[in-house]
Each structure stands twice: as C-alpha cells, then as structure tokens.
Structure 1
Amino acid sequence: MSQAGLLAAQQKMHDAGVPQAAIDVFTHYYGQLESGVTGMIPEDSIDPYVNPPMLDELDVPEHIQQEAIAKTAIIKLNGGLGTSMGLDRAKTLLEVRDGLNFLDLIAKQVLSMRQRYKAGLPLLFMTSFRTDTDTVQYLQRYPQLAVEGLPLTFQQNQEPKLRADDLTPVQWPQDPSLEWCPPGHGDLYTALLASGVLDALLTGGYRYACISNGDNLGAVPNARIAGWFASTGAPYAAEVCRRTVNDKKGGHLAVRKSDGQLILRDTAQTPDQDMHYFTDEFRHPFFHTNNLWFDLQALRERLAQGNSVLGLPLIRNQKTVDPTRSDSPAVLQIETAMGAAIEVFPGATAICVDRSRFLPVKTTNELLLLRSDVYDLDEQGQLVACVETTPEVSLSSAYKTISEFDRRIPQAPSLREASSFIVKGDWEFGAEVSIRGNVTLGEQGGIVEQGHVLQGEG
C-alpha cells in the first residue's frame, strides 16, 4: 500500500510542477517514514556541547573581515504567514515600529552594510507559494537591493500531506490547498539547488552564506563573524546563545557519542522521558539561534555526492489535514530542520554570540518589547537594547492576534524601568503608560488611563 502511496505522491508533485530534486528528496524521506524511522535522539546517545568559542573573545583582523563579507550572501527565511498571530500575509509585512516592518528593517540593515564595507552583499528571501507575491511586490520599493544575476526571492518547495493510516496523499476537497505542506526549513538546501540560486551565487563569486529567520531582526549582517567563519575553513557553523531558565523550547547542539559529530536536537526529536534533560539549561547550556553560516562550495559538493539528498535527519510531524478541525483526517508531514545540516558536514563548528543577535518575534509578547522603549531603532535599521536586562513580558490570550493586540495597546508602554510585565486579563492601555518594577495585572481586566504609571515591587 505504501508503494502505491509513494507513486501517487510523486505524481501529485510532478503535476504541480515541483522540481525533480525536491521529489527525489521527498522520496528519500518517504522510504525512511515507511521503515519506521522517527528521528528521535535519546539523551544516552549524546554528550552536552559545552565549550563553543566566544565571539566577543576573538580577534578577527579588519582585512579578514572585509575579504569575507565581500564573498557573503544573506538569506532570510520568509515562508511563514504568522497565522498564530492572526495574520494572512507574509509575517515580515507586520509593522515592527515607526511605521516600518521586518522587510523595511532588513533592507536598511543590508544596504547600510553594503555601504560600510563596499561589498555586494546580496540579499535573498526564501519564500513560499503563500508569501512570494506579497514579498516581491513590497520589495519593489527598494530597487537598489537587486544584485545582477540573482533573484530577490526563491520559493520553498511543497509536498503532499500523507494520511497517517496508509501513507497515501490526503484528499481534502473542502480546501485542496490544505493537502499540501512545506517540508520544513531544511528544504532550504534543496530549494537553493533546484532554483539555480546556489549555482548563480557561486558563479557570481560568492563563497559563504549567512541564513536566519526573517522575523529575527537581531541577525544583522556581521563582518566579524564572516571573517571568523572564513578563517576556520569549516564547511558549516551555527550561532548559539547561552541559555537561561526561559529558553526551554529552542533546540540545542550536542556531540553524538558514536562519532563525535556535532548535531542539533529539537523538541520533536527528544523522547518524552528525556525532556527534563532537554530543558535543563545547566546540562545543555547553549541554545541554537537558527542563524547559520555555510560554505556554498562545500554545500554544492555535498549535494552532488548525495544526488540532491543532503541527508538531514527526518522529523515526523503528525497533525490533522485541517489544523482548525481535530475531526479531520490525521496526516503525517515529512519535515527537516535546516540547522540539522551541522551533522552532515564533518568539521562543522559553532560560535557563541551575544543575545542581541537573537530577537525573534513569535508572539505579541516579543512584539511589545520591540515596539517599546526597551530598544532604540538606529539609522541602520538595527534595534539597540537600552537596558542591561530585558524585562519579562507575558500577555494573556486576549492579545494573541495582531488586531486585538493593536486595539488594546495602540502605543507600547514604557518598559525601560520594568523587571516584568504580566497581564492576565483583558486590559486596554492609553498612551504614555509606564511600567516600573514587577507589575502584574489581574484577570478582572480594565482600562489603564493615559499617562498612568504602574509601580510594582523590585
């Protein structure tokens, strides 16, 4: 039955115009799924990774930085819609502050670095079939971003969701678009190859790529890291940050006992009985930022060796075909994580960076921080922290979607003197509100009037 399922899935992808390289990669993982591969990484198979080099302790000569950044391309992941925040367009179109969205700020950051280092520094976005049109249209206001011979966007591939009971492509006539899913951001490498972008970058004289999430405005192009990476001669490097008690969800690097290879382990790859190890910030003291660096030539050679298959570990993701309906058929999505590529490159390494390079916006909690006076926005499009310790922010479900968040908090309160800001109920805020110390607002809800100062302990 699974053989029939594979043939049906391959045909469906072919009919939809999915590149052959992506079909070949899907076929590879389908075989793993059929054979029962789960991608789990038990704690007893790894040792903690505890001693990465520290960026702030490294001396990278200016000429090395200049040479490396001149050969570097910047790639941003831009395939998500931000549906968890109530968005129906590319998440990077969400306003961050001062009327500017993620795309505006990324463009400013890259253009500023081009001018500073007199480097081409191409910027490319990996989009999805849901975000490509919006992204291309918006970037038309930055015609100077284009680099000859390179596109501004290339699309992530798509694959069929598979019925959990027989591994055949699911049918959902109510909304056929829900029959498809992205293969996870590990598809980056396949998409670079199949789109021709990888070869175009190499032809253009570029040797290195820096990859990060489009919603992480801390991942600014960095010549010092580029110089360090080039100097190592490593084929691949990951940026990590020191974990705190609040960093329990992000993946971490580890050393595989069987061969000493650096690997990435995510929550979906951790057995339930080992989750207490996974979340222990002392046992695994560094988390993976999803900021990556790799040698384009090394990637091209590795893909050629594997006939387009890089060999990332499988992530078996079980969902329902319609995420909003628990009674819809159970499906399996074949996924991979781009950070897991660290294990397919012998000699791969990592570097510990400052927390300022990790400013993702996954919820309105983080958005409130970026819109507040905890950060200043400089002329280069960079968010600069104005406090030594970022206050904890936790908003209730009343603020989950952007529309409800904006209605209740049209102007971010001052948080520079806050230690924590916890909102348990449904509260509305006037302009020029200030939070000081540890402030918790209760479940009863209410209105915080304009200019009010909320003073807590600490």
Structure 2
Amino acid sequence: MSAVATPPSIDTLTRLRLEVATLDQISDNEKLGFIKLVSRYLSGNAEQIVWEKIQPPTDEVVVPYDDLAPLSDDPSEAKSLLDKLAVLKLNGGLGTTMGCTGPKSVIEVRNGETFLDLIVKQIETLNSKYKCDVPLVLMNSFNTHDDTLKIIEKYQHAGLQVKLFNQSQYPRMVAEDLMPWPSKGQTDKSGWYPPGHGDVFPALQNSGILTELLAEGKEYVFIANSDNLGATVDLKILKHLLMNQNEYCMEVTPKTLADVKGGTLISYEGRVQLLEIAQVPDEHVGEFKSIEKFKIFNTNNLWVNLKAVKRLVKADALQMEIIPNPKEVEGVKVLQLEVAAGAAIRFFDRAIGINVPRSRFLPVKATSDLLLVQSDLYTVEDGLVMRNSARSNPENPTIELSSEFKKVGDFLKRLKTIPSILYLDSLKVIGDVWFGSGIVLKGKVIVEAKKGEKLALPDDSTIENKHITSGPTYSPL
C-alpha cells in the first residue's frame, strides 16, 4: 500500500467528512465505508512486508488439486454439497476496453451466447441434474446495474434464482486537496467509482443478500470474475472445504511467463497471505517475477464461508491493503482507493489455496482471448467451455493482435470466420489485415500489413510457420 507523502492535518479528514455528509447520492453505509477507507489511507500505517519473513507455502497451505478427495458415485452427495452453495459473479465491469458499451458480461463469446448466458446455463444444468437450488448472485456496479436489470429479464423462466446487488459507490477525490469531486460540481457518473472487488464482503452484508443466503441454508459462496470462462462450480473443492472447515479458499494455478505480475500466495508469520507486486520492494521485483521461486498466481476464483463473512464484516476486521489508483478524468487529476478480494485471505480461519489446473483460468480480457475461446481450440456443452482434446500441446497459443482488432466490432468484421488454431503455437497480426473464411493456422505465424497497405488472406488458406507481409512479396497461398 502506498501512503501520501506527508501526513495530512486533522482538518483534511474533518473537511472530507463534512463534504461527504452532503452527498445525497449514496447511503450512510457507503459514506461510512468511504471515510474509513480514506482514514486508513491518510494514516500512512501501511503494514510493510519484511522480505526475509516470506516462506513458500507448504502443500497443507496450498493443496494440490490432485490431493482432493474424489466424489462418490451417489448423486445425493452432489446434491447435499450444492444445497450449501451460492455462485457470485463479479459483474461491475464495462466492456469499454474492448470497444463495447454496457456490462462486459453481455459480450457474445460463442455461437451468439454471452458470458452471462453460459453462466446461467451452467447453473441451470446443475439444478436440473441434481434437483437443487443454487442461486446466481450478481454484484453489479452503478455502471452496470440498470443494463443488467434489463438483461436478466430473459432468465425469468430459467431454472435458477438470480439475485442482484450493487457494490459501493464512492466519490473520486480531486488529487490536489483530496476532497470529493462530486461536491465540487461533478454530478455525473464520472465523479464516482466502484472501490474494487474487495468491496464484495461489506456490500453483501449491506445489501441484505448475505442474510438471505444464510436463511436459505447456504454456507459457501463461490466468487469469480464474470469473464473467466474456466470459473465453474467444482464439487471436489467444495467437499474439501466443508470437510476441513476452511473459511476461505483461493484457487491458484501454475505461473507462466505471461503471468509474472500476478499475485501469489505466501506463508507469512504463520498465516497464508496474498503477495502482490505493488507490495514488493524494488530490489526484489525480479525475484517476485521468477517462476522458479513464486510458482503460482491468484486466479481470483474464491470460495468463502458466509458465516465467516458476516462475523468479519460486523467486526470491521477486513482491513485489506489499499490500492491507490490515480487517474486523469476529463482533464482533472483524481484519486480512487480500491481493495481486492484476494487480500482478505489472511483474515479468515484455516484459509488455504488450492493449486488448480490451468483450465480453471480462462479470462477474456481482450480480443486475442476472444479468438482463443471462439476457435476450434474449445467446445461448449451445457454452458461449460472445454478444451478440445485433439490438441496435444497443453499450452494455449500466444496471440498478439494489433490495435485494428482491439474493438470487438472491428475484430468480428476482420474475420469472415474464426481461423482453425488447433495446431498453432503463436500468431502475431500487425496492421490492416483481413481474414477470409476457412483459414487454418499452424506453428508460428506472423501476418503483417505494411503501413498504408491492406492485406487480405484468401478463403481456405493454410498458413504454417510463415511470416506473410503485404505488397509485392505476398502471393496467395
């Protein structure tokens, strides 16, 4: 956690409290939560990690997935487990980075189905198969709430309950004096922000959803990003947590060179803790990024005991590390303070990690990820996105697409059909490139349209281990 360079005067916090009190757009709980967050930030009392105290986690702390007890063949066991579960998807993000408006969860992923469609189908299938009632809970932000309300109307007759709540809405602070931007006349949405997914715990309590779930006999909630197609209900994990009374479980997976900045689990002063790159002293960043020493990273798939959430929120015990996020919005330098759900692990009893297969981490953050999941590398059944067993290489191909493909609309327009990439190792696309239909890519492929030129790959081409460029050097394959 970074703190302000100089300790502020008492007047700063007093003025902030007075200004926040006048903001009638948010609830008293939100005002209180915001003031507490800022107070912690202004105190500068960050807990510094002592590098020498970091220990690698043992198999008791980070349990290998293969060590989990198998399920019996009796379907009643699955039903008894599922009756204790709710699924919560973090649905506060917009698809702006991919050129979309509205919630990211309504981007079409496969065959016209959105992230949300696939999630609903997964849970419907479980409820139907095991005669249980697993609810889907969506944590929206003020940015996604209205759109999500309209979208879920189509699931009215689906075989599941859908519960909605909003995470907190906090005012952005003007960087120069740390006063709320809305109190300075910024009344539209740009004056506000959702304070990170670590807000899920108090927001669950404040919304009343936590009380509802406990009343329905739910004991655990599975929390995951709505854009992670690998984050599906895993009964072996749930069984392990119930058997061992673990209040919190973070799914981690082996780190590759693409994941070197991801948070990792450590043993620290007798407890399991998440270590983020922002907490690492500069002289140890290279060590942190090493996949030899820190071999796992956080998938943000979390399993959490609901009674423990209630206990810790009521005690105001979830003091997660603060992530200061400075931004420039409409020409104004602002500061927003955020918290991450993974950082809460150290406050729960018997918290563990489980080292899961990479297949449980399949996020779609960019159109390059969309190309992977829309291709023949994956199939979909009952909402589950599964890797094609015909691919022998356990690693996915690396895909780099230039800015011409950044927006989903442009990406779809430039590909008549999604190429076959079952035997692809890597793909790099540069410039004004257009893909015909039925294209097969194999090995290492680079497709480059030189500046000011257009390169159209013909239908039914097979491109293997080639660097293709536009201009006179290019001829149809």
Q: Does 1:267 align with 2:270?
A: no
Report the alpha carbon displacement of residue 41 of structure 1 after superposing the two structures with TM.
4.2
Counterpart of 1:455 (choices 427, 440, 464) is: 464
**Residues 263 and 5 of structure 1, relative CA distance in 2, 3 Å threshold:** farther
**Residues 425 and 377 of structure 1, relative CA distance in 2, 3 Å threshold:** same
Q: How many residues align?
A: 444
Letter in 2 for 1:225: I
Decide whether the 8 Å contact of 1:12 with 1:160 is kept in 2: no
Letter in 2 for 1:299: V
Decide whether the 8 Å contact of 1:156 with 1:188 is kept in 2: yes
Letter in 2 for 1:235: E
Q: Does 1:423 align with 2:425?
A: no
Q: Does 1:404 align with 2:410?
A: yes
Counterpart of 1:107 (choices 86, 97, 120) is: 120
Decide whether the 8 Å contact of 1:39 with 1:315 is kept in 2: no
Decide whether the 8 Å contact of 2:108 with 2:115 is kept in 1: yes
Decide whether the 8 Å contact of 1:22 with 1:194 is kept in 2: no
**Residues 369 and 147 of structure 1, relative CA distance in 2, 3 Å threshold:** closer
- Equivalence for 2:384: 382
Residues 89-112 of structure 1, C-alpha deviations (whole Å, 9 max, x = no match)? 100110101011111100111111
Counterpart of 1:132 (choices 145, 148, 155) is: 145
Counterpart of 1:16 (choices 20, 25, 33) is: 25
Aligned-residue CA RMSD (Å): 2.1
Report the alpha carbon displacement of residue 36 of structure 1 after superposing the two structures with TM.
2.4
Structure 1 distance, partners of 2:445, 2:433, is 13
Report the alpha carbon displacement of residue 261 of structure 1 after superposing the two structures with TM.
1.4
TM-score by length of 2: 0.88
Deviates more, 1:199-208 or 1:442-451: 442-451
Structure 2 distance, partners of 1:146, 1:305, is 36
Report the alpha carbon displacement of residue 269 of structure 1 after superposing the two structures with TM.
3.3
Letter in 1 for 2:224: S
Report the alpha carbon displacement of residue 49 of structure 1 after superposing the two structures with TM.
3.0
Runs of 4+ in 1 over 6 A off after TM superposition: none
Residues 244-280 of structure 1, C-alpha deviations (whole Å, 9 max, x = no match)? 1221232111222xx2211112333334433212221
Report the alpha carbon displacement of residue 456 of structure 1 after superposing the two structures with TM.
0.7
Residues 198-239 of structure 1, C-alpha deviations (whole Å, 9 max, x = no match)? 011001111110000000111111222111111110111110
Decide whether the 8 Å contact of 2:375 with 2:420 is kept in 1: yes
**Residues 46 and 392 of structure 1, relative CA distance in 2, 3 Å threshold:** same
Letter in 2 for 1:454: I
- Percent sequence identity is 35
1:302-341 alignment, distance < 5 Å: 302-306=312-316, 310-322=318-330, 328-341=331-344
Decide whether the 8 Å contact of 2:123 with 2:160 is kept in 1: no
Residues 140-163 of structure 1, C-alpha deviations (whole Å, 9 max, x = no match)? 212244767xx5211111101112
Q: SS state of the match for residue 116, structure 2?
A: helix
Counterpart of 1:354 (choices 335, 353, 357) is: 357
- Equivalence for 2:308: 298
1:70-85 alignment, distance < 5 Å: 70-85=83-98
- Equivalence for 1:325: none
Decide whether the 8 Å contact of 1:71 with 1:205 is kept in 2: yes
Report the alpha carbon displacement of residue 39 of structure 1 after superposing the two structures with TM.
6.6
Q: SS state of the match for residue 20, structure 2?
A: helix
**Residues 440 and 137 of structure 1, relative CA distance in 2, 3 Å threshold:** same
Residues 418-439 of structure 1, C-alpha deviations (whole Å, 9 max, x = no match)? 1111112221111111101111
Structure 1 distance, partners of 2:47, 2:439, is 48
Decide whether the 8 Å contact of 1:146 with 1:152 is kept in 2: no
Q: Does 1:365 align with 2:368?
A: yes
Structure 1 residues not aligned, in runs of 5+: 323-327
1:33-52 alignment, distance < 5 Å: 33-37=41-45, 41=49, 43-49=51-57, 51=59, 52=62
Counterpart of 1:119 (choices 104, 107, 132) is: 132
Q: SS state of the match for residue 368, structure 1?
A: helix
Larger Rg: 2
Report the alpha carbon displacement of residue 68 of structure 1 after superposing the two structures with TM.
2.1
Structure 1 distance, partners of 2:363, 2:180, is 34
Structure 1 distance, partners of 2:289, 2:50, is 14
Letter in 2 for 1:76: K
Structure 1 distance, partners of 2:257, 2:227, is 22
Report the alpha carbon displacement of residue 173 of structure 1 after superposing the two structures with TM.
5.0
Structure 2 distance, partners of 1:65, 1:9, is 52
Letter in 2 for 1:260: G
Letter in 1 for 2:355: C
Decide whether the 8 Å contact of 1:414 with 1:434 is kept in 2: yes
TM-score by length of 1: 0.91
Deviates more, 1:440-449 or 1:224-233: 440-449
- Equivalence for 1:58: 68
Counterpart of 2:232 (choices 202, 205, 220) is: 220
Decide whether the 8 Å contact of 1:4 with 1:168 is kept in 2: no
Letter in 2 for 1:243: K
- Equivalence for 2:219: 207
Letter in 2 for 1:120: D
- Equivalence for 1:446: 455
Decide whether the 8 Å contact of 2:121 with 2:383 is kept in 1: yes
Letter in 2 for 1:452: S
Residues 322-346 of structure 1, C-alpha deviations (whole Å, 9 max, x = no match)? 4xxxxx2322211100111101113
Decide whether the 8 Å contact of 1:108 with 1:381 is kept in 2: yes
Q: SS state of the match for residue 33, structure 1?
A: helix
Structure 1 distance, partners of 2:46, 2:98, is 30
Structure 2 residues not aligned, in runs of 5+: 1-10, 467-477
Letter in 2 for 1:398: E
Decide whether the 8 Å contact of 2:20 with 2:180 is kept in 1: no
Letter in 2 for 1:32: R
Structure 1 distance, partners of 2:416, 2:185, is 40
Q: SS state of the match for residue 359, structure 1?
A: coil
Decide whether the 8 Å contact of 1:40 with 1:271 is kept in 2: no
Deviates more, 1:47-56 or 1:289-298: 47-56
Structure 2 distance, partners of 1:145, 1:6, is 46
